[in-house]
Structure 1
Amino acid sequence: MCAFRPANPLINAPADGQTLDTLEGTIERITFHNAENGYTVARLLPPGARDVITILGNFSNPVVGESLVCYGTWTHHPQWGRQMQVARYEVVRPATAFAIEKYLGSGMIKGIGPVMAKRIVDKFGEEALDIIEHKPQKLRQIHGIGDKKLDRIKQAWQDQREVKNIMLFLQSHGVSPAYAVKIYKTYGSKAIEVVEKNPYQLAADIYGIGFKSADKIARALGIAEDDPRRIQAGVVYVLNEAVETGGNAYLTEDELTRKANEILGMEDIAPAIDALAFSGRLVLEPAEFLGQTETAIYPPSLYTTERNLAERLLRLLSQPIEPASPAKFDAWLTALVEKRRQPLSDEQREAVKLALTSRFTILTGGPGTGKTTTTNTIVAAFEALKKNVLLASPTGRAAKRLAEVTQRDARTVHRLLEFDPEQRGFKHNAENPLECDVLIVDECSMLDMVLTYSLLKAVPDGSQVVFVGDVDQLPSVGPGNVLRDLIDSGRAPVARLTQVFRQAAQSLIITNAHAINAGRFPQLPPPSAFKDCAWLDAEEAEEVADKVIAVVAVSLPKRGYPPGDIQVLTPMQRGSAGAAFLNQRLQEVLNPPADDRPEVQRGSRLFRVGDRVMQMTNNYDKGVYNGDIGVVAAINHEDDTLAVHFTDAQGSTEVTYDFADMDELTLAYSCSIHKCIAAEERVHTRDRGLVAIKDLQAGDYVYTGEHVAKPVLDKIATGRKPVLRITTRMGYRIDVSQDHPLLASDGGPPQFVTAKEVKEGIHLCLSRHVVDPQVPILLPRVSSELGRQTLHLPTHLDEDLAWFLGATVGDGSYRDMKDGTVDFTNQDQEVLCKYRAVLEGYNLRVCTSRPVTRSAIRLRVVSKAFRDWLCRLGLGYSTANDKRIPEIIFQASALVKGAFLRGLFDTDGGASGNSNTCRLITSSFSLAREVQALLLSLGIVSGIARWMERAYCVGVSGPSLPEFAERVGFTVGYKRERLHSFVQISLRRGKANVDTVPFSPHLIAEASECLRQHFGNSRGIKGKGLYANGNCRIGAIFQKVRLFGSPLTYWDINALFGHLQQIGASIPASLSETANRRYLYDRVVCVERLSEETEMYDIEVEGIHSFVANGFICHNSQGSEYPVVVLALHTQHYMLLQRNLLYTALTRARKFAVLIGPQRAIALAVKKQSDIHRHTRLKERLQGTL
């Protein structure tokens, strides 16, 4: 039996003592499973039942056929009905023969598939599991199980048992359960020993287990927040993330410190950086630029690689080459060109001369400028000089294309260097160089720093090197921007081809690619024009997908392009027009199920014989590399293996994968081509409240602008970008990149605009949908012994504790880090009595005193254990100017958030009779912003303004007062009474011109049209429609907009909506949507560009691509050449539509390109110039300025 404990006890677990419902059953289907955080949606069949029940929760490794006992709470989904939110579960051995067969056939035990499982159960019935456990030799009675297979089954069963023990240990210490198998495979029986000794070792040793997962285990094991092991591991994690996701070679010391502070919560990490540098785990390199010293911090391997690469390049460039007589050389080259009957332009001729007379040359240019012809001539020229020439390219398809155009052997860089599995490195290196006089490498924009150095150090001294590539295409996936740095350094001779030849100029692929690269809109002829580049209009994402399927499966094959020559590219992985969905649909059409095409499914991955697949990681042992594309050739269920045929310039090779390694492959009918919101901006989620976007995980449900919860399919770290800070009249603020889309109204109905298009005066849309997560929050435990006293601390976050925390933030003093003191000073007896009662309920001794100069009472407790507990709740040591809301409050239910705010307003707030406003006064601007965000998540609009000289006021007034009274309110009697009177006044002032809709004329025009259609003429509208039943108010609403230009309030909209409903007239969709969504339309008062860049993130959301961040509603390939490229574009891909992505995708098409999507999506991509900045010092090293 395996009991489950949630990975994050502060968020996912139920409160101790809470009554949970029980559900037993067998897993029938796994609808969704996120391996990163364990979040799962599955269908469970209870014993004797006909219908399955949906369960949701965090499961370690769910398997179809497993029998579970689930403990959780019932919820009701509007579409899917009754569901159980599982808080914990136990895995029990399946009892019936049917359940055992399903369990064994799920693939969890290597060597037993569905067929073998049926044979075993048919033979042994309900004793099957006991036989495998205690008498495995009896399995030899089963047809198909020999000695070899029996040994595999026995080992797999033992592995599963050990894995379950490790899972129990890891889950009890807060680790993500999905990594248990990886930990076991790495450490075997020593897994628990390693984890207990230093959990941060996991992040260093195991791919996929990062610092955050290791940190959860460490904290659960009692490792302190300021433990040097934790801080050092966090610093290394931050640097590695910058390398792996951003393509950087280093981070500056300031950037590394800031990012490490964000994840560690520690201000001083300099000692950790020094210790890591001293131990050789980091390299610090200070350098002076324009009088300013900047320290770069590298991973040691990349520092060494970058320096060695620069030295190798400089050595190549410095080697002399025997000069030739210019006159003789020109004559010889002229004769060569005439012999080849391939005339060259002046640019091409100079490029050939440069390559022949230089030790190292770069040839660059856009499509149609003659790079291929020039490369061919260079190869022929070197061969005419009796030189041994080697040709290479970073990917298999690019190498194959290079071989085709040169009619010579070409290899991938990896195969050229020949990986040695025993030495775990390339066979060819400085000691064993390649046998060549000349090395020519195509598609060099794909070369990262590490592969470039491995290649160049294998080039023998005295050789010549030519790099060919389009510098305007996307840079490499790995670290560095080698081609760009080489060109910008000015040290390497560069031949840049710019002339587009007449024949190429007749190609729309070529002319459109150059137009896009220059920022011009391309020509988009219809398919009937029979050009080599066509456009199909499709407005909806689903329509884009439908047309992609029709074009690939029917239209293009009719034109003579078989599906194998077609590659579908799309900017996004997820969504209706994303690569994952298109792959699934293309597989159904191009390679449907058939008796002669075996298939295998593991989780969400389904492969069948004939599928086109792509390798997603470098696997040196198998000799396949990231981006290699092949075809599934065979599937063997007896051996649990899958064979893939890969084809490159050297021919075809077959690679065999175990089913367990299928995660290295993905369907490749459609591929994604490789903005954004600041890391700390909070996103509204269903189950975790307000979460910083950097902390979101796939599987989290976020609220869209439609007030619907949708799952996060992917989170994308987009790197550091310039920041636009947008502030509204009410004080709401968001930090975004300039291309980030926000929902706005500029006098018309809401539509998405980019941040750089936002101007002062435009109205941004904010959601006031109530965020009310219902997942109970467990609290951490601390040592509670105080002499003879024992603290009675709560086990879960309730309203009493939330009120206490709010009151403490308001009038508490908790900045002393030494003696564990918490002071609370207030003059309201009701507040003092409640505060004292909470403390005494925790069995704390409360001391009372009266400050000499004040009329208030001071309550004090001294307890290091209690203070440490508050610290772990998020109430850290801080001064009045630095106070913040504890993180757990953002994750709490609406009732708990309301209680916290009540405590805060009870102490630092009040009800001002002069302005009928409830106010909170604080000297902390951060606290004021967080309070405003928390209020908005309860549907309460507030404003922020300066108060006196050094404080800030958060004020709630007008239409939001009823919600404030209902969801927050006051504990203090006289404040409560005053608030009640404010509410009555606000209800009587429904006509007040506040909380208005900026596109009121549009709504009135549509309502008028509905009335005209209902009554048949304009006189009917005036006589009956506006004043029906003596309702003069409706006529006045029309007049205020039409005659006086005043905007509608929501009071007006509700009245108009009700009137149309009452008389039976149709209701305009825009009026209905406005009334239902009830956005806050807040006018922008400031748009400023911040001086520093910051980390940016984006998320992909299922279906409607929008999410709510800080209240604001946000919208949310590089590869080889192909004969035909079908490019799917949609505004749903907004944040990934960029000029260089579109340019790169289009230049991959050799014969024909089809763009499918709306014109505005193409226009957006053309407009967005993306400067890809990566931290490297290769250019400076080549220039000698370091």
Structure 2
Amino acid sequence: MRAIGEGRSRGGPGTEAGGAQESPPDEARPAAAVSRAPRDEASAAARAVLTEGGAPEALARPAVDALGEGAARLLREDPWLVLSLPGVRVEHADGFARALLGPQAGPGDPRRARALVVRLLERAALEGHTAVEASKVRAALGQHFVPDPEEALRESVSDGSVLVFQEEDLDGPAASKASEDEEPPMRVLLGLDRYALAEESLADGLVRLLSTLDPAAPKADWVGAAREAPSPSAADLIRAVAESGVVVHTGGEAARAEPAALVSAARGLGLRAWAVTATEDSRARLGGLLGSGNSGNSGNSADSGDSGDSADFPEALVTLPGLLSGSGEGPERAEDGSLDVDLLVVCDAPRLDVEAAATLVESVPDGARLVLSGDPGVLWSVGPGRVFADLLAAKVCPQVASRTPDPGPLGELVSGIGIGELTAVEAPEKEIVIVPVRDAGEAVHRTVQLVADSVPRAIGVPSEHTQVITPGHGGAAGTRVLNAALKERLNPGPGRFDGFDPGDRVVHVPAPGTVVPARVVGADEGGLRLESAAGPVTVAREHLATVRHAWALTAHQAAGMRWPAVVAVLPGDAVQALDRSWVYTAFGSAARHLSVVHGVEQALPKVIAQIPARARTTRLRSILREQPVPPQEG
């Protein structure tokens, strides 16, 4: 159901979706000088207001980034806007407001309530939700001493801070108990407009592609291509694509051969077909399947650690960050901004958040075909939404499930996890090794021993091609502790470049959900110099927070990549952070060997059997169910 309350998110002058918008440069002066001067002035003004309210001066630049060049005025008029800045807690914002407003800054101030509502929805978005049930927001407002949460929500909807929706509850317990003759239960949701508009735009784009394809006037011999397909599942996929503008394809690592066969067949038929992957490593592996690239091109590749030039890849391949960056990577664009493609195959589709998916689908022209392919068992996107899962559940387009299983003991283990079973698997070549530990300290010690000694000696995989995966950054066996221990053993040094040394294994995260594995080369006045599979990267010193050591990663960081060997660390205190999708992603990242440093005892089978994934509240499935989708066969 469309929003029953309309409005835009609050923001300062010259802002769009919470981001600062630069003024056009003056032709008489360099653009950088023109844009920098007003921002410096705005930062100085914001710094003065922040200092007056007892807030850190370091928030001045983020305030201008979030609220625009009028940040100082906006913060003085509405001090609780400081809640939109990084690291600011509710008690900090309340103290800041009292310092600026005096006694009138009470818990029932409408400005406070409005900021809290937006804050709660923004924090929910960080957990993957695109909307939140109104009852949960009301309860949270009560915990923050808002005297009338219901009135606070009404005012937030009325002034356009949030949107409100009423729709069927498709996932709640009442829905599963309702009979076919009963009206489905309803729920009221609140959402920020950026995610509401993204989900609606995505649904509109998918329906557009389903509606504008004319299968009765094919441009290619799809029947012949299906006949020549290398496998029955590839033939099924080609036939489905011949008949529909949108197709969903599911399968594991071995099933990636099927979208590769589709792209190859389509290009052989003279069509403008492209494949999109989430990471450079995924691009390397798909490039090998397309037959023109080198599957060992990425330093993280399952087959090789040799670095290579991205130009080795087939013309038909591009990464999602490259395609959406506006840098010109991938297919050319028409004058209206749409991609010059007849077929776009998106691998790693579960990694798409709702905003990236909406942008991608909007760029596919009328009459073209879109395939979303991926493994439904892996972790969902870092950003809000569960696009792939919602599209599967909505059943508005053909779905092709691969019949190609992942081979070997690792394939058997991961396939069992995918259906909720942790089974004992024969591993005659030590493909799977379980290492029980008593506590986190022992887990760290055994992990370092495995990476530095046991796996290279017994399995033949060198340390630089072995990846450690653990549930979180913090804790006694999180990435911070493990990376410190692994650095000390594998590349000791003083950290002379802001904590990094040449040869350090790192990841660069230039944007949420974009993880670029690299090695430190050095540093100069420009910043930290890295070498990645895509080429050299220099990270400016002010952005060094986007670089982390990477001998150990979280499963979210590792998603979309594979290594010859993986050490999965499951300390005893990690149970609350685990679900089936985490285990599936971590274990499935191993191509040849998996060591499991295991301290969760009998909790792991229970997690795999009972907790498929962390719940996310989204609206895409409901929106698609309401759309006038053309009848689909298959």
Please give the TM-score of this superposition, normalised by the length of structure 2: 0.77
Q: Contact 2:134–2:190 at 8 Å: present in 1 too? A: yes
Show the counterpart of 2:543.
Answer: 661
- What is the deviation of 1:1122? 2.1
Show the counterpart of 2:584.
Answer: 1143
1:217 and 2:96 aligned: yes
Q: CA 1:240 to 1:362, structure 2 compared with 1: closer, same or farther past 3 Å?
A: same
Deviations 1:918-962 (A, max 9, x none): xxxxxxxxxxxxxxxxxxxxxxxxxxxxxxxxxxxxxxxxxxxxx
Show the counterpart of 1:462.
Answer: 367
Aligned match of 1:310 in 189, 193, 203? 203
Show the counterpart of 2:81.
Answer: 201
- What is the deviation of 1:392? 0.9
Structure 2 distance, partners of 1:395, 1:1160, is 34
What secondary structure, in the 3-state scheme, does the structure 2 residue paired with 1:616 have? strand
Deviations 1:689-739 (A, max 9, x none): xxxxxxxxxxxxxxxxxxxxxxxxxxxxxxxxxxxxxxxxxxxxxxxxxxx
Partner amino acid for 1:657? Answer: A
Show the counterpart of 1:553.
Answer: 452
Deviations 1:33-57 (A, max 9, x none): xxxxxxxxxxxxxxxxxxxxxxxxx
Structure 1 distance, partners of 2:147, 2:518, is 50
Aligned match of 2:398 in 471, 475, 493? 493
Q: CA 1:481 to 1:182, structure 2 compared with 1: closer, same or farther past 3 Å?
A: closer
What secondary structure, in the 3-state scheme, does the structure 2 residue paired with 1:666 have? strand
- What is the deviation of 1:215? 2.7
Q: CA 1:283 to 1:193, structure 2 compared with 1: closer, same or farther past 3 Å?
A: closer
Deviations 1:1135-1173 (A, max 9, x none): 123222111111112222222224546445434423433
- What is the deviation of 1:372? 2.0
Q: Contact 1:437–1:463 at 8 Å: present in 2 too? A: yes
Deviations 1:118-166 (A, max 9, x none): xxxxxxxxxxxxxxxxxxxxxxxxxxxxxxxxxxxxx9xx99x979x95
The one of the two structures with greater contact order (alpha-carbon pairs below 8 A, sep at least 6) is 2
Show the counterpart of 1:125.
Answer: none
- What is the deviation of 1:547? 1.9
Deviations 1:180-224 (A, max 9, x none): 6745888999876654332123334x3444655323211333223
Q: Contact 1:356–1:382 at 8 Å: present in 2 too? A: no
Aligned match of 2:476 in 564, 568, 576? 576
Deviations 1:555-600 (A, max 9, x none): 3334442333221101232233221111111111221128xxx722
Q: Contact 2:332–2:340 at 8 Å: present in 1 too? A: no
Structure 1 distance, partners of 2:463, 2:492, is 14
Deviations 1:246-292 (A, max 9, x none): 211112322222222222x1242444434433433322223366365
Q: Aligned pair count?
A: 543
1:539 and 2:438 aligned: yes
Unpaired stretches in structure 2, ≥5 consecutive residues: 1-36, 170-182, 293-313, 629-634
Q: CA 1:1119 to 1:542, structure 2 compared with 1: closer, same or farther past 3 Å?
A: farther
Q: Contact 2:529–2:536 at 8 Å: present in 1 too? A: no
Q: Contact 2:455–2:461 at 8 Å: present in 1 too? A: yes
Q: Contact 2:575–2:604 at 8 Å: present in 1 too? A: no
Show the counterpart of 2:508.
Answer: 615
- What is the deviation of 1:176? 6.1
What secondary structure, in the 3-state scheme, does the structure 2 residue paired with 1:200 have? helix
Aligned match of 1:1184 in 623, 626, 634? 626
- What is the deviation of 1:324? 8.2
Structure 2 distance, partners of 1:202, 1:1145, is 38
Q: Which runs of structure 2 are paired with 1:514-913 in the superposition (5 Å)?
A: 514-523=415-424, 529-558=428-457, 559-593=459-493, 599-601=496-498, 606-618=499-511, 626-636=514-524, 639=525, 641-648=527-534, 652-658=535-541, 660-674=542-556
Aligned match of 1:283 in 152, 159, 163? 163
**Greater per-residue strand proportion:** 1
What secondary structure, in the 3-state scheme, does the structure 2 residue paired with 1:607 have? coil
1:434 and 2:307 aligned: no
Unpaired stretches in structure 1, ≥5 consecutive residues: 1-154, 620-624, 675-1116
- What is the deviation of 1:384? 2.3
Structure 2 distance, partners of 1:564, 1:286, is 52
Show the counterpart of 2:278.
Answer: 394
Partner amino acid for 1:518? Answer: I
Q: Contact 2:271–2:343 at 8 Å: present in 1 too? A: yes
Q: CA 1:207 to 1:430, structure 2 compared with 1: closer, same or farther past 3 Å?
A: farther
Partner amino acid for 2:422? Answer: F
Q: CA 1:300 to 1:173, structure 2 compared with 1: closer, same or farther past 3 Å?
A: same
- What is the deviation of 1:401? 2.6
Q: CA 1:212 to 1:456, structure 2 compared with 1: closer, same or farther past 3 Å?
A: farther
Q: CA 1:640 to 1:430, structure 2 compared with 1: closer, same or farther past 3 Å?
A: closer
Show the counterpart of 2:29.
Answer: none
- What is the deviation of 1:316? 0.7
Q: Contact 1:235–1:256 at 8 Å: present in 2 too? A: yes
- What is the deviation of 1:430? 9.1
Show the counterpart of 1:1166.
Answer: 608
- What is the deviation of 1:236? 1.2
Q: Which runs of structure 2 are paired with 1:41-190 in the superposition (5 Å)?
A: 170=50, 173=53, 175=55, 179=59, 182-183=62-63
Aligned match of 1:510 in 400, 404, 411? 411
Q: Contact 1:487–1:494 at 8 Å: present in 2 too? A: yes
Q: Contact 2:486–2:551 at 8 Å: present in 1 too? A: yes
Partner amino acid for 2:569? Answer: A
Q: CA 1:295 to 1:1170, structure 2 compared with 1: closer, same or farther past 3 Å?
A: same
**What is the percent sequence identity of the aligned residues?**
23
Show the counterpart of 1:374.
Answer: 258
Structure 1 distance, partners of 2:68, 2:392, is 49
What is the RMSD of the two structures over their aligned residues, measured on CA atoms?
3.4
Q: Contact 1:1142–1:1165 at 8 Å: present in 2 too? A: no
What secondary structure, in the 3-state scheme, does the structure 2 residue paired with 1:1125 have? strand
Structure 2 distance, partners of 1:1183, 1:566, is 44
Show the counterpart of 1:475.
Answer: 380
Structure 2 distance, partners of 1:494, 1:1171, is 21
Partner amino acid for 2:504? Answer: D
- What is the deviation of 1:427? 10
Q: CA 1:430 to 1:236, structure 2 compared with 1: closer, same or farther past 3 Å?
A: farther
What secondary structure, in the 3-state scheme, does the structure 1 residue paired with 2:485 have? helix
Structure 1 distance, partners of 2:222, 2:333, is 34
